[in-house]
Chains A and B, each alone.
Chain A
């Protein structure tokens, strides 16, 4: 990340963004959806991607930065290929979420907030995922996994850890 990379949206994305902007009274409203798109396309939102979004929507970089830093789902830094986001709020806590976090971090040998050295897994604690009947809940790359226990996570980690190296997230 030493020199500024040149990134661009694909033609198809630009067409999507054009259509999106028309759905709102002002283009600025498209900022969150376009940041989601950019994150999907580029994996995360380093400064040059934020600049691209600012240019695309004709906004100042500061405006984009303020939004990126306010919302937890926007990531300014690279994460592991699999983001293990464990809900530890009330409903999940009452059903073993803290033990689950301890198990996962211990078996991966990292702390909460860290990424494994092979770049495969990042573990974070998140707020109520809105799925408390399935406590404890783990979101893995935008997908909900409910009633998760230690053996479920072990199996998941073994499966993707051994199979993929360069597969798809």
Chain B
């Protein structure tokens, strides 16, 4: 049970994930699912909900950390067009695996959050865009949605009110770029996932050119608690401007990799040492990628950084999706960087020249460097390409592709140098 005392809150999204049988509606209800929904549908109006979410300080959990209430307030009203709600369950950013656990262990939490968000935004049709590989999770969601329809929690006149909403699970098919919100929309329209120019932003012109809100699974799963306990309650958890709990997916060289939902502001070191059982080798990490593979690397000197959007920015990186990849001294940083370069080259949608060409260059040069066949000139080209592609494209994939390269060159020039030397004689 979530505590109404903000100091005591141990879990929000993961409050029920460990309970047996929680995916079934009956058990979920016994454990509090949909308890507050009738109150919201009967006593709240749209503006009030948006206000509570604004007050809560909730920032989008999908990567950009954009304030959720503010995003919702951008949706124009009375346009004569339908408004759509899309849940981003693409979870493709390397290192991220949190949304999967919400969906497979507590699907009703996400459904409830979507009903509440849909009600606030006047949505009639909502979709969950889930990565294609998550077949099991899609099936769990489908079964839960079916039960919700039978219990009149979805469909026409929900719980006897005049609010009606449909919810559909839509599987992607293996393309990282479809996690980018406008690519997701393209994909949901039955096209290749190529990001659109912004503006117009989806809030104004999204799915079939109608007002559309795209939110991450974790973001939407936080909404029921915010409405039940109030925006101020949520704002009192964590630290100012970085409120609430956040799920961190920790992987790599830690003894207990996994998802940990902790208050924002907890330090990286505490998370790794107290929750994740420390490192596999040694005591201080060599590299920490704090927000998924697209975020700049941190090194040992930043081990104490608090896990907040602001502190991560100050340390030169980003909180991103909260996917923390930890490397101890045994990591081969050249191999890792080469592997990530391959990832971005493979996933670039190809419509911007700097990204299409740049990711290819980065991959080819990293292949050479790893093989000990790189030269000094290669390092220059790596740096130039990475610097010049970032920020010059339609979407942020190009920035993500340059992050590992620039991080390697910045923090470990000697490691690169050494590998070049190998074939010098």
Contact = CB atoms under 8 A, between A and B. Distances in A.
A66 to B, nearest CB: 6
A142 B136 CA distance: 8
Given A67-B191, A128-B94, A128-B95, A32 B173 contact: yes
B174 A71 contact: yes
A99 B310 CA distance: 38
Interface string B232-269: 00000000000000000111110001110000000000
A91 B189 CA distance: 32
A58 B189 CA distance: 15
B325 interface: yes
A36 B171 contact: yes
Per DSSP, chain B at the interface is: mixed
Interface residues of B, number: 56
A71 B166 contact: no
B193 interface: yes
Given A90-B339, A130-B134, A131-B97, 13 more contacts: A24-B168, A32-B132, A32-B170, A71-B193, A72-B173, A73-B173, A74-B174, A91-B257, A94-B253, A130-B92, A130-B100, A132-B325, A135-B257
Contacts of A33: 170-171
29 contacts: A23-B168, A24-B168, A25-B82, A25-B207, A26-B190, A29-B170, A29-B188, A29-B190, A30-B190, A31-B190, A32-B170, A32-B172, A67-B190, A70-B175, A72-B173, A74-B173, A89-B293, A90-B340, A91-B252, A91-B257, A94-B253, A94-B327, A95-B252, A128-B92, A128-B293, A130-B92, A130-B133, A132-B249, A135-B257
Contact of B133 (A26, A32, A142): A142
Interface in A48-67: 59, 63, 66-67
B403 to A, nearest CB: 12
Interface residues of A, number: 42
B339 A89 contact: yes
B343 interface: yes
Nearest to A88: B339
Interface in A95-148: 95, 98, 126-133, 135, 139, 142-144
B135 A142 contact: yes
Contacts of B135: 142-143
A121 to B, nearest CB: 19
A66 B190 contact: no
Nearest to A132: B251
A130 B188 contact: no
A133 B258 contact: yes
Nearest to B328: A94
